[in-house]
Structures are given as structure tokens and as C-alpha cells.
């Protein structure tokens, strides 16, 4: 107390003492007679009829000062957030009817009571930046319709405002009504003005500028399906017939990257969490007449953002969306360099690794995708820019008991399919491609369940570059048996396998005496004796009951043929030719031949 006040009090005490100790009154009589008017007099400041109107009155409405006895609005003390601050909870509500702030309807005030144990002290909002100077955590009072399971409560910390009925705004509130129209005009600068549009009201219901969506970036705008409001961290929509919807955070950022409402339409629901509980997604739809053009937008904390739409989305849906083998899209749609096709990349989290994939959309080859080891090998072969072209199937299980998957591809040239290829993936033989004519020859022999089995390498050039070839192997009890190869030379693809392949490779293969195979294995008879024969550049290999594989080449072969070959007098060969001391000889059923 100041010296002046102390002096005044002393004087007053003297006057009180004179009055109380005088002959006319006793202390008890004095207090017994008169009303304690102190409180009545102190009510005088609450006489707004005599207060001059000011700009502050217009912004904050009546009773905005601390002495008026009302509580502050939460957005004033909560960084613009129209929600209960930490350490408080919704304790109850009342309404004021015919509120201009709610376009003539009821305006609801929800009190945030301090939670027991939270450390707030009674005070007044004194910031010069606001006219809402009402009380903070002073009124030890509760309206009692919300959170009835909480029976311990502190004073009212602040008030949340909404035009939405409290029992709709928060399911913890009952609809048991209390009305106090005297507060109808009270407001604060951080609250919307008179009768804002419904979307703005919804924005404030979600916390307003201090809420998760953050401040406004662009005000409410009309779009063909309703209106939308762009905020710092997301967007709010009012669309027919869904009502209020939203998209937020990284999903919102990608929504803008996709072109916003004019490009992909609007969300007809809020963002949702994916089945795995980790990723998030939303569906935007650009509805034109009766046609729907949906875009599925994803975000994953590890993979980032991506989207699918059009035929890619149709395939993605068929493959069980992000739960299926492709996983999450990790890109928006991308164009190939020549812009003849588009593709979308995907990633799927497996137990200890991440699997990649891609779906292509090509007007010639259609919409197909691949993933996993097949996709990885495809990328190693230069993907769509390589010799395989575009996928024309999804990964498919291999035939037979050896397991594995494969996918087919088509090379497009001048708008037409030039040839097809495949990539086969088997845990025993690995992941390899089979291309063009070699693939055709291999498939003619039964592909992975035929004579040759699975590819064991990509197509290679021979040492002399005159041909290309692919090698193959069969699998038995998870063990590989090298089985054969297919050579492509001069436009013809010829397969070598089994004993003939083993003999040929032991004779130095294409660089040996026999040269390249020029025919497939043929089955014939010599008299009553069946035999097989395969022709080479410079000879042949014969197989019969007498010998699985006998090779004859050069002069000896020519001599054999001049004597009638297998059907001649010599019969079928019993051994391959052998060269010793400059002389090449071989043994036959009915004799032998030598060639110096």
C-alpha cells in the first residue's frame, strides 16, 4: 500500500472508530442495522450503459474486461487455438440463442475446466494485443454436461466457441441444455465475425488458426463440388453430399502437387489411416456429370507420398491396394522419356527388406506391373528403355513343383509389338531373362517344365559374336542340373540339351569341330532301330540305344554320309570320332571309318 493510501486508511479508521465508538451506535448495532453495501457499490463498475463505446467494444463485445466476471476465450490464450489447452477438459456448456455469430441460430460456449493437479493460477488476460481481457482460471464453476466421469475439477480456464451443438462437437458432452442469452454478443479478435460461412465455422470448430490446420492461406473459394479453404497445414472442404471433409499434412502437400481440385477433384471423406496403422490415404474424386475420376493419394512415413489414378488405380485396386504385392505408391504418375507411356513406382515393406515395384500404362501393351526380384532384374536391364520393353503380364507363378515366378514383356517398335520376352525368377536358379526367338524356342520345348528347365543366365553373345545364347537348367530337389542352351544365329534359334549338349560343350562347343547347331534334335529310324540326330555346322551328333551321344564331324562325317549314314552299311555310330596320331576314326554298328 502506498503512503497516500495508508494515510487515507488511517483517516478512515479514525472516522470508523468515531462512528462505531460514538454514543449513537455500537459496532454490533451499526452492522446489524445497515446493509453491507460495499458489494452493491462495487457492482457499479458493471454498468455498461454508462461506459463510452469504443472500438474494443465492437471487437470483443460487452463485458470484455476482467472486472465483468466472465472467462476468457481459449483462442486468446491458446495461440489462436479454439480448443481446451493442456491441463484442462470440457466441463460443460451453455448456449445463447439467436446469435448473429451463428447466423441467427444458437451459439454454444464450452467451458474448459482446469484438471485437478494442473498448475494454473487465477488471473486476467493483460496482453495489449487483444481486447479479450477476461478472467483466466478464476471461476470455480462448472456447467456439468461434459465428461461426467470426471468429478474433480478446477476453475474455468477458458471458453471454446462453436455453432455446432456440443454433443455433436464432442461426444463426451450430453445434450442437457442451459441457456444464458446475456453472453450472446461476447467475442474476441481470434474468433470469426458475424455469421461467417459454414466452412469457416467448421474451421474454428477444429481449432481455428491455433489448431492443427494452422492459419488461413487462401480464403474460402467456390469449386464445382462446393467450397474449399486452404490453410497452412491442410485444406477443408464443404462438398455435397458428404458435408465437411479435409486433407492434411503430407497428403495435402501432394494434393497440391497433383494440381488441387481442378486436377484431381475433392476428398469426399477425411484422411484415413491405412490397414497397417502406419500409412495414410485419401481418395479425391473429380466428378464430371455421372463420370467419376478418382485419385488415391498415399503417404507413408518411410516411403513418402505417391498417388494412383486411372487404369493404374484399377489394377492397384484389383491387387488389393497397399495391402497387396505392390505396397505403397511412392511417386505420382511419371512419363517415359519419349512420353509414349506412363508409370508409377511402388514400395512394400517386408519383414527385413523393402520390395520395389512399378505399374506401367502403355496404349500398345496395356496396364501391367511387376515387383520384387523380377522388377529389380528388369531395372538392371534398363527397364522400359532396354531390350525387354514393357510388361505385358503381372508376376505369375511358374508351372511345376520347382516354384518361382515369371513375367512377360513386349518390345514396342513404331507403335507395334516387335517381340516378347520373359523374366523368370526362381530361388534356386536365380532371376534371368529369356528374350525373343530364344524365348520362343524355349517355350516350344515346354518352357520351365520342358527339357531345358529354367534360364540360368541372361542372353549372351558367343565368343566370336556370331550368335547369342541362353543357358538353362532343371531343378530336382532344389538341386540344379545344367541342362542345355538355345543358340540364336542367323535368325534361327536352336536348342541343345541333355547328352548332346554335354558332348558338344566337351568338344569346345561352337568353337569346336562341330560348330553351331543348325537343327533341333530329330527322331528317326535306321531299319527297325530308332535314333536321334542333331546337325551342326560341320557335323552331327547321333544318339541311339548303342550310345547316348556320338559326335562326327568334318571328313569322317562326310565319308559316313557317303556310305549311307545311319541307314547305310555301317549302321549307327557306337563312339564319337577320336583323333590319334593325325588319324580320326570312329566305330559303327557294322564297321569303322578312318580319316587321315
Pick out residues in 76-135 that bind another protein (CB under 8 A): 94-95, 97, 102-106, 122, 135
Peptide bond into 241 cis (omega under 30): yes
Whole-number Å distance between alpha carbons of 563 and 590: 12
- The smaller minimum CB distance to another protein, of residues 245 and 247, is found at 245
Rounded least distance, CB 346 to another protein, Å: 35
Q: Give min distance, CB of 181 to another protein, in A.
A: 7
What is the residue whose three cell numbers read 506401367? 360
Do the beta carbons of residue 104 and residue 40 sit within 8 Å?
no
Nearer to another protein, 153 or 328 (CB): 153
Residue from 56, 139, 212, 558 in contact with another protein (CB under 8 A): 139
Q: Is 257 in the site for another protein (CB under 8 A)?
A: no
Residue from 7, 21, 31, 446 touching another protein (CB under 8 A): that is: 31
How are beta strands 135-136 and 123-124 bridged, if at all? Answer: antiparallel
CB of 322 to another protein, least distance (A): 29
For 108, the grid coordinates are 454454444
Nearer to another protein, 179 or 522 (CB): 179
* 23 binds another protein per the rule CB under 8 A: no
Q: Please, how many CA atoms are within 13 Å of residue 296, restricted to the half-sphere of its CB? A: 21
Q: Is 53 in the site for another protein (CB under 8 A)?
A: no
How distant is the alpha carbon of residue 75 from its chain centre?
35
Determine, following the binding rule CB under 8 A, whether residue 38 of this chain makes contact with another protein: yes
Tell whether residue 466 is a contact of another protein (CB under 8 A): no
- Hey, what's the cell of 339? 512420353
Query: What does the alpha-carbon distance between residue 332 and residue 309 come to, in Å, rounded to a whole number?
Result: 9
Grid coordinates representing 553? 564331324
Q: How far apart, in Å, are the Cα atoms of 144 and each of 109, 112, 169, 182?
A: 13, 11, 16, 19
> Rounded to the nearest whole angstrom, what is the least distance from the CB of residue 211 to another protein in the complex?
18
Q: Which of 85, 103, 60, 90 is nearest to 190 (CA)?
A: 60
Closest among 288, 203, 195 to 238, alpha carbons compared: 203
In terms of CB distance, is 13 or 275 closer to another protein?
13
Of residues 147 through 176, those in contact with another protein by CB under 8 A are: 148-151, 155, 163-165, 167-168, 174-176
By CB under 8 A, name the one of 4, 36, 55, 337 that touches another protein.
36
From the list 142-150, 279-287, 543-551, 566-574, the region that binds another protein by CB under 8 A is 142-150
For residue 524, the cross-strand partners are: 531
Q: Tell me the per-residue interface mask from 263 to 292 with another protein, x by CB under 8 A, - otherwise.
A: ------------------------------
Q: Binding of another protein at residue 17 (CB under 8 A)?
A: no
Q: Is 340 in the site for another protein (CB under 8 A)?
A: no
122 to each of 78, 135, 156, 181, 504, how far by Cα in Å? Answer: 16, 7, 10, 26, 98
* Radius of gyration for the alpha carbons in the chain, expressed in angstroms and rounded: 44
What is the closest distance, in whole angstroms, from the C-beta atom of residue 307 to another protein in the complex? 27
Our finding on whether 377 is near another protein (CB under 8 A) is no
Nearest approach, Cβ of residue 9 and another protein (Å) = 7
Query: Which part of the chain contacts another protein (CB under 8 A), choosing from 27-35, 215-223, 321-329, 485-493?
Result: 27-35
Cβ atoms within 10 A of the Cβ of 340, count? Answer: 14
Regarding 338 and contact with another protein (CB under 8 A), the answer is: no
With CB under 8 A as the contact rule, which of the stretches 180-188, 445-453, 455-463, 560-568 interacts with another protein? 180-188
> Which of 42, 396, 399, 592 touches another protein (CB under 8 A)?
42
Beta-carbon contacts of 441 under 8 Å, excluding residues fewer than 6 positions away, are 486, 493, 494, 495
Q: Check: CB of residue 409 under 8 Å from CB of residue 391.
A: yes
Listed in sequence order, the residues at least 6 apart from 97 whose beta carbon sits closer than 8 Å to its beta carbon are 105, 106, 179, 181, 184
Query: Judging by DSSP bridges, how do beta strands 107-115 and 492-497 pair with one another?
Result: unpaired
Residue in 115, 131, 186, 202 binding another protein, rule: CB under 8 A: 202
Amino acid at each position: 500500500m502506498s503512503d497516500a493510501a495508508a494515510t487515507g486508511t488511517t483517516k478512515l479508521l479514525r472516522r470508523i472508530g468515531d462512528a462505531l465508538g460514538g454514543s449513537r451506535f455500537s459496532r454490533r448495532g451499526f452492522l446489524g442495522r445497515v446493509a453491507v453495501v460495499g458489494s452493491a457499490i462495487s457492482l457499479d463498475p458493471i454498468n455498461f450503459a454508462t461506459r463510452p463505446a469504443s472500438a474494443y467494444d465492437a471487437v470483443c463485445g460487452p463485458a470484455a474486461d476482467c472486472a465483468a466476471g466472465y472467462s476468457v476465450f481459449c483462442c486468446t490464450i491458446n495461440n489462436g487455438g479454439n480448443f481446451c489447452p493442456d491441463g484442462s477438459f470440457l466441463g460443460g456448456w451453455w448456449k445463447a440463442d439467436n446469435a448473429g455469430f451463428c447466423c441467427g441460430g444458437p451459439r454454444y460456449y464450452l467451458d474448459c475446466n482446469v484438471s485437478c493437479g494442473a498448475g494454473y493460477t487465477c488471473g486476467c488476460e493483460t496482453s495489449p494485443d487483444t481486447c479479450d481481457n477476461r478472467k483466466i482460471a478464476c471461476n470455480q464453476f462448472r456447467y456439468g454436461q461434459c465428461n461426467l466421469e470426471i468429478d474433480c475439477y478446477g476453475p474455468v480456464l477458458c471458453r471454446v466457441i462453436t455453432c455446432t451443438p456440443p454433443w455433436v462437437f464432442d461426444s463426451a458432452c450430453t445434450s442437457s441444455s442451459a441457456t444464458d442469452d446475456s453472453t450472446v454478443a461476447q467475442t474476441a479478435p481470434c474468433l470469426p465475425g458475424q455469421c461467417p460461412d459454414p466452412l469457416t465455422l467448421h474451421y474454428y470448430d477444429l481449432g481455428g488458426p491455433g489448431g492443427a490446420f494452422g492459419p488461413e492461406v487462401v480464403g474460402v473459394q467456390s469449386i464445382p463440388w462446393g467450397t474449399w479453404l486452404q490453410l497452412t497445414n491442410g485444406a477443408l472442404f464443404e462438398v455435397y453430399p458428404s458435408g465437411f471433409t479435409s486433407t492434411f499434412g503430407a497428403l495435402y502437400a501432394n494434393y497440391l502437387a497433383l494440381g488441387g481440385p481442378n486436377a484431381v477433384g475433392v476428398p469426399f471423406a477425411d484422411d484415413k489411416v491405412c490397414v497397417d496403422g502406419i500409412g495414410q490415404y485419401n481418395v479425391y474424386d473429380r466428378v464430371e456429370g455421372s463420370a467419376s475420376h478418382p485419385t488415391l493419394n498415399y503417404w507413408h512415413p518411410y516411403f513418402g507420398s505417391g498417388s494412383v489414378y486411372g487404369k493404374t488405380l484399377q489394377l492397384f485396386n484389383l491387387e488389393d491396394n497397399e495391402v497387396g504385392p505392390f505396397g505403397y505408391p511412392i511417386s505420382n504418375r511419371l512419363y517415359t522419356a519419349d512420353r509414349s507411356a506412363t508409370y508409377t513406382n511402388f514400395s512394400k515393406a517386408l519383414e527385413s527388406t523393402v520390395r520395389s515395384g512399378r505399374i506401367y500404362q502403355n496404349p500398345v501393351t496395356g496396364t501391367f506391373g511387376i515387383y520384387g526380384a523380377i522388377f529389380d532384374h528388369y531395372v538392371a536391364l534398363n527397364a522400359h528403355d532396354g531390350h525387354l520393353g514393357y510388361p505385358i503380364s503381372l508376376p505369375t507363378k511358374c508351372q511345376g513343383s520347382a516354384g518361382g515366378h515369371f513375367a512377360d514383356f513386349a518390345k514396342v517398335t513404331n507403335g507395334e509389338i516387335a517381340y516378347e520376352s520373359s523374366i523368370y525368377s526362381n530361388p534356386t536358379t536365380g532371376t534371368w531373362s529369356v528374350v525373343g526367338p530364344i524365348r520362343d524356342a524355349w517355350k516350344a520345348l515346354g518352357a520351365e517344365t520342358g527339357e531345358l528347365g529354367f534360364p540360368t543366365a541372361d542372353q549372351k553373345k558367343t565368343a566370336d559374336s556370331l550368335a547369342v545364347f541362353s543357358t538353362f537348367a532343371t531343378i530336382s530337389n532344389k538341386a540344379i542340373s545344367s541342362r542345355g542352351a538355345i543358340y540364336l544365329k542367323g535368325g534361327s534359334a536352336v536348342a541343345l540339351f541333355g547328352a548332346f549338349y554335354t558332348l558338344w560343350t566337351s568338344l569346345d562347343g561352337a568353337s569346336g569341330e562341330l560348330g553351331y547347331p543348325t537343327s533341333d534334335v530329330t527322331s528317326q529310324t535306321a531299319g527297325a532301330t530308332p535314333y536321334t540326330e542333331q546337325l551342326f555346322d560341320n557335323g552331327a551328333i547321333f544318339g541311339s540305344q548303342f550310345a547316348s551321344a556320338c559326335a562326327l564331324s568334318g571328313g569322317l562325317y562326310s565319308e559316313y554320309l557317303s556310305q549311307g549314314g545311319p541307314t547305310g552299311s555301317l549302321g549307327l555310330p557306337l563312339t564319337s570320332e577320336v583323333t590319334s596320331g593325325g588319324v580320326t576314326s570312329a566305330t559303327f554298328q557294322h564297321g569303322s571309318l578312318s580319316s587321315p
